[in-house]
Structures are given as structure tokens and as C-alpha cells.
């Protein structure tokens, strides 16, 4: 049996589960509203004149695209992994001839069709109200956008699996994710377009992984990046995806040696 068929089976069961939990998903969807709050705030600021290149319409386009990226790259594996380690239910995954991370990744990926379905009306609203002139007209940007979304999702999964795996060593590992989220909100472009940061902080912003989880895909569809900038950003993005994946696998492998499987 091919590896593809196995992955498809896992994605299919994850999709069936996401349909079973559609109410929960809808609530999550409706509560992903921080960019909308920020949009209103920044639009109020831009009423008297643009902030950098952002006028009211640009802020609206930026933050609505942010919502789309957030919905398509959201994940919950840090909470799931931590909970399964603490309750011992990780044992169920360890008994199967599939690496638990592959299974988690398939489960996260299986939620994408439902998310795409809910994001579609939002995209239509954006285009009807703001028009298409605020977004990139270059075909190449739209071609690489899914790759940037995939990279953003991979970094998020890598970070979440790294922090989740730390629960094998430390009961309170999830508190690290809270700290990570605090930095993410500031440095990812989720609450403020990154180019509005002072020039002296820009190198740090470009160096940290947060930009590549949120702002980078948004910058692509808004046509803010030229070819060279795109390439450099992709190298950073997939470099971070690889780094966090290796880190997560290493911590998980070492942690299993001391796993007590209590309750499992």
C-alpha cells in the first residue's frame, strides 16, 4: 500500500472528525477576530492621512487578508500533544506504525477543506467591497502564495510540536506557547503591518520566524515584495520550517525515553 494512500486515509478520517466538530470550528472561526479589531483601529488612525503606504483601504485589505491567512494556517497540535502526554493517550498513537507527528500533521491538514469553505465567502466580500486594485496583479505572486501558506503552516506545526514535545520533560510546557504567542502577536504582522515598525528594528523582524508565519503570505498577495525579497523570504521561511521540524523530532525522540505513559 502506498504511503500516499495511508496519508489520504488519515486525512479522510481527520476530515470526518472535523465535520463532527463543525460547531466547535464555527465558534473558533467567529472568535478569530483580533485582526478585525486591529483593522478598525488602524483605519481610524489612517482617516486623517495614510500611515506609510497604508490608507484606510490598504489597512482593510491587509487585515482581512491576515484573517484569511490565520484561518488557513491555524493549528491546535500543541494543546493536543500536551494533553495526550499528560493523560497517557499518546500511547494509542505510539502503538501504530505511523509516526505520531505524521498523524498530527494529517489531522491538521484535514481541517483545511472546511476552513477553505468558510474562508471563501470572506474572500468574496473582500473583493466586492475593496476591489482588486489593492492586491498584486502579478501571476507569479498568486502562484507562490499557496507555497507561502504551506510554509507558514509548517512553521506553526513545527513550533507547536516542539513545545508540545517538551511536555515529555516538563509539565508546564504549554506556558512556553503563551510566551511564543505574545511575541507572535507583536512580530508577525498580526496586529501591525511590519513595515510600520521603526527602521532600526526591521532587521530583527526579518530575522525572527514570526514574519514568515503571517506577514509574509499577506505581503505576497498585496504585491509588496519583489523577486529577490521573495526568494530570501522563502529561504528564511522553509529554513525555519526545517529547523523546527528537526527540533521537534529530536525533543520527541529523547522525551519518549523518559515517557511514563501514566494513565495510558
Residue 117 lies near other proteins (rule: CB under 8 A) = no
Judged by CB under 8 A, the number of residues near other proteins is 27
> In angstroms, rounded to a whole number, what is the distance separating the alpha carbons of residues 20 and 156?
24
Torsion of CA 222, 219, 150, 159, to 10 degrees: -150
> Smallest distance from the beta carbon of 94 to other proteins, in angstroms?
6
Candidate list 56, 89, 118, 136; residue touching other proteins; CB under 8 A: 89
> In angstroms, rounded to a whole number, what is the distance separating the alpha carbons of residues 8 and 116?
18
> In angstroms, rounded to a whole number, what is the distance separating the alpha carbons of residues 202 and 231?
18
User: Which 59-88 residues touch other proteins, going by CB under 8 A?
Assistant: 88
Window of 14-22, 149-157, 224-232, 235-243 that interacts with other proteins by CB under 8 A: 14-22
Instruction: For residue 118, count CB atoms less than 10 angstroms from its CB and return exposed for 0-12, middle for 13-18, buried for 19 or more.
Output: middle
- HSE on the CB side for 71, CA within 13 Å? 29
Contact pattern for other proteins over residues 176 through 215, marking x by CB under 8 A: ----------------------------------------
Window of 16-24, 115-123, 187-195, 224-232 that interacts with other proteins by CB under 8 A: 16-24
Candidate list 34, 51, 98, 208; residue touching other proteins; CB under 8 A: 98
SS3 85: helix
Q: For residue 34, count other CB atoms closer than 10 A to its CB.
A: 15
Structural contact between residues 152 and 74, judged by C-beta atoms closer than 8 angstroms: no
For other proteins, the closer of residues 28 and 145 by Cβ is 28
Residue 91 lies near other proteins (rule: CB under 8 A) = yes
Which residues are at the interface with other proteins (CB under 8 A)? 1, 5-6, 8-10, 13, 16-17, 20-21, 88-89, 91-92, 94-98, 256-261, 264
Amino acid at each position: 500500500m502506498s504511503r500516499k494512500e495511508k496519508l489520504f486515509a488519515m486525512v479522510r478520517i481527520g476530515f470526518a472528525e472535523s465535520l463532527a466538530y463543525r460547531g466547535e470550528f464555527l465558534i473558533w472561526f467567529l472568535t478569530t477576530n483580533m485582526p478585525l479589531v486591529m483593522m478598525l483601529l488602524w483605519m481610524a488612525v489612517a482617516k486623517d492621512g495614510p500611515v506609510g503606504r497604508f490608507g484606510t483601504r490598504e489597512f482593510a485589505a491587509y487585515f482581512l487578508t491576515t484573517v484569511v491567512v490565520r484561518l488557513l494556517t491555524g493549528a491546535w497540535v500543541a494543546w493536543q500533544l500536551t494533553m495526550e502526554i499528560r493523560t497517557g493517550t499518546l500511547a494509542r498513537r505510539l502503538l501504530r506504525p505511523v509516526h505520531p507527528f505524521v498523524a498530527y500533521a494529517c489531522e491538521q491538514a484535514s481541517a483545511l477543506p472546511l476552513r477553505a469553505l468558510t474562508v471563501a465567502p470572506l474572500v468574496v466580500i473582500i473583493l466586492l467591497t475593496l476591489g482588486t486594485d489593492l492586491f498584486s496583479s502579478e501571476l507569479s505572486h498568486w502562484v507562490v502564495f499557496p507555497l507561502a501558506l504551506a510554509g507558514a503552516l509548517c512553521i506553526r506545526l513545527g513550533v507547536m510540536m516542539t513545545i508540545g514535545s517538551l511536555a515529555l520533560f516538563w509539565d508546564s510546557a504549554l506556558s512556553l506557547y503563551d510566551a511564543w504567542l505574545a511575541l507572535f502577536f507583536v512580530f508577525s504582522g498580526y496586529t501591525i503591518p511590519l513595515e510600520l515598525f521603526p527602521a532600526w528594528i526591521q532587521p530583527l523582524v526579518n530575522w525572527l520566524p514570526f514574519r514568515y508565519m503571517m506577514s509574509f503570505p499577506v505581503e505576497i498577495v498585496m504585491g509588496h515584495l519583489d523577486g529577490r525579497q521573495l526568494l530570501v523570504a522563502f529561504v528564511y521561511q522553509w529554513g525555519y520550517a526545517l529547523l523546527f521540524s528537526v527540533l521537534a523530532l529530536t525533543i520527541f525522540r529523547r522525551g519518549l525515553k523518559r515517557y511514563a505513559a501514566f494513565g495510558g
